[in-house]
Amino acid sequence: MIIRDFKFIPYKLKLKSPFKNASFAINEREGFIIRIVDENNFVGFGEVAPLPGFSLENIENCDVALNKLHYSIIEKSAKKIDFDLIQELQSISNLPSLSFGIEQAVISLLIKRGELSSLLTNSKPIEINGLVGIEPKDEVLKKIDDLLIKGFKTIKIKIGGNNFEDDIELIKTITNRIDDSIKIRLDINGNWDYEKAEQAVNILDSTKIELIEQPVNNINELVMLADFSPIPVAVDETIKSSADARSIIEKSNIQTIILKPSILGGIIETITLIKSAGKLGKKIIISSAFEAVVGRSALMLLSSLVNGNHAHGLNTAAYLAEDFGTDSYPITKGIAFFNHKEYPPKFDGIKL
């Protein structure tokens, strides 16, 4: 395959309002849309969007690397040299969000060329969890009610403010208000110490809480907590690389693993992790890092490859004030439908 054209276009998208977790707030998303064209005029899109506070790299790192990559690919194109994905990924291995975007664009081309049909075998409805950031109590309860009215059956709530007692009171209020048909996920973003986390899992209603995500930052403490916690413990921020994810999947007792593919470094590695977890009967939840419409489409593909009917964290589009075009996977009553025959999306509505 010859890549005859390679472009990257910067973007900034405002959020409707600042989204807060226990560590930081974001007001906008910034990144690049990659557009590549092969010798057959097939077009592939990818998204590069490092998430401040989570990603190891920043937007400036990606900008510099994209310029170098652009000249390298165009030079090889002029010489009719085949594109080597493995080689190009090795050159940007320290920039996971860039690896994700390049992989997405190339995989899209390969699918269009009929060379990667094995990925696309599963059309399915995908449950999506609603998401509520850290807000005053009344606002949190209002947003939960709004999500319930919209038909969401799984709701993820960011917890971990400055006052532990207030956190517990809020959680108890929430669990007292919902019935058994609703699953509540708590995301602490590592903001509790071990003693608080141990206290919380023992006093909260485990019948109303599906999981508690990243209650502490230390992986050893997470493993210890998971040994006895009546509430399933999930891991997210502790995973800084695909090697971290493999170790947790293969060697720990943690049964639920949250994967943010653009932070892990790509689609291919995420597929490998999904397969490894499946063999061990562990649950993978695919989670957005507030990608725009292009990046979210790849996350839908990955979610379709996960066994089970549990919800994935892909409702971040609801927080964007605008997007590039029409979402190919709209969420209705907490469900998005993935049609393998229509992947990758055409992105005809993208305005850049």
Task: Say if residue 304 is in the same domain as residue 265.
Answer: yes
How is residue 223 written in tokens? 């493993």
- Strands (E) in the chain, as ranges, are 3-20, 25-38, 43-48, 124-127, 130-132, 154-158, 183-187, 209-213, 233-235, 256-259, 283-286, 335-338
Cβ pair 92, 68 in contact under 8 A: no
Does a structural domain hold residue 157?
yes
The neighbouring-strand residues paired with 6 are 36
Task: Say if residue 296 is in the same domain as residue 275.
Answer: yes
What letter does residue 334 receive in the DSSP assignment?
A: T
Domain boundary among 78, 101, 118: 118
pLDDT score recorded for residue 292: 92
Task: Say if residue 111 is in the same domain as residue 146.
Answer: no
Task: Say if residue 136 is in the same domain as residue 57.
Answer: no
Does a structural domain hold residue 8?
yes
pLDDT score recorded for residue 75: 81
Q: Mean pLDDT, 10 residues at a time, over the chain (352 residues)?
A: 90 88 81 93 94 88 92 80 76 89 93 84 92 93 96 94 90 94 95 95 95 94 95 92 92 95 90 95 95 95 94 92 87 95 83 60
Does a structural domain hold residue 352?
no
What letter does residue 336 receive in the DSSP assignment?
A: E
Task: Say if residue 125 is in the same domain as residue 265.
Answer: yes
Which residue bears the tokens 């209020």?
A: 173
pLDDT score recorded for residue 349: 65
pLDDT score recorded for residue 22: 65
Does a structural domain hold residue 263?
yes
CA-CA distance, 340 to 261, in Å (whole number)? 19
Q: Give the number of other CB atoms < 10 A from CB of residue 5.
A: 14
CA distances, 177 to each of 174, 180, 204, 205 (Å)? 5, 10, 14, 12
Does a structural domain hold residue 349?
no
Domain boundary among 118, 138, 158: 118
Question: What's the domain count of the chain?
Answer: 2
Instruction: For residue 99, count CB atoms less than 10 angstroms from its CB and return exposed for 0-12, middle for 13-18, buried for 19 or more.
Output: buried
pLDDT score recorded for residue 352: 59
Does a structural domain hold residue 189?
yes
- What secondary structure, in 3-state letters, does 249-317 show? HHHCCCCEEEECHHHHCCHHHHHHHHHHHHHCCCEEEEECCCCCHHHHHHHHHHHHCCCCCCCEECCHH
Task: Say if residue 192 is in the same domain as residue 317.
Answer: yes
Task: Say if residue 76 is in the same domain as residue 223.
Answer: no
Which residue bears the tokens 């010489």?
A: 79
CATH number at 304 reads 3.20.20.120
CATH number at 94 reads 3.30.390.10
What letter does residue 150 receive in the DSSP assignment?
A: T
CA-CA distance, 300 to 314, in Å (whole number)? 8
Task: Say if residue 87 is in the same domain as residue 218.
Answer: no
Task: Say if residue 110 is in the same domain as residue 147.
Answer: no
Cβ pair 123, 340 in contact under 8 A: yes
CA-CA distance, 131 to 332, in Å (whole number)? 15
Cβ pair 317, 47 in contact under 8 A: no
CA-CA distance, 334 to 151, in Å (whole number)? 6
Q: What range defines the domain where residue 153 resides? A: 121-342
Task: Say if residue 68 is in the same domain as residue 133.
Answer: no
Q: Which residues of 53-87 are buried (b: 16+ CB within 10 A; e: fewer)?
A: ebbebebebbeebbeebeeebeebbeeeeebeeee
Instruction: State the first-to-last Cα distance of the chain, in angstroms, to the nearest integer.
Output: 26
Task: Say if residue 257 is in the same domain as residue 338.
Answer: yes
Residue 319, sorted as left (phi over 0), alpha (psi -120 to 50) or beta, turns out to be alpha
Give CA 65 to chain center in angstroms.
23
Domain boundary among 65, 97, 118: 118
Give CA 163 to chain center in angstroms.
28
Does pTM surpass 0.85? yes
pLDDT score recorded for residue 83: 76
Does a structural domain hold residue 141?
yes
Task: Say if residue 94 is in the same domain as residue 200.
Answer: no
Nearest to 213 by CA among 231, 195, 193: 231
Does a structural domain hold residue 348?
no
Nearest to 111 by CA among 255, 301, 284, 322: 301
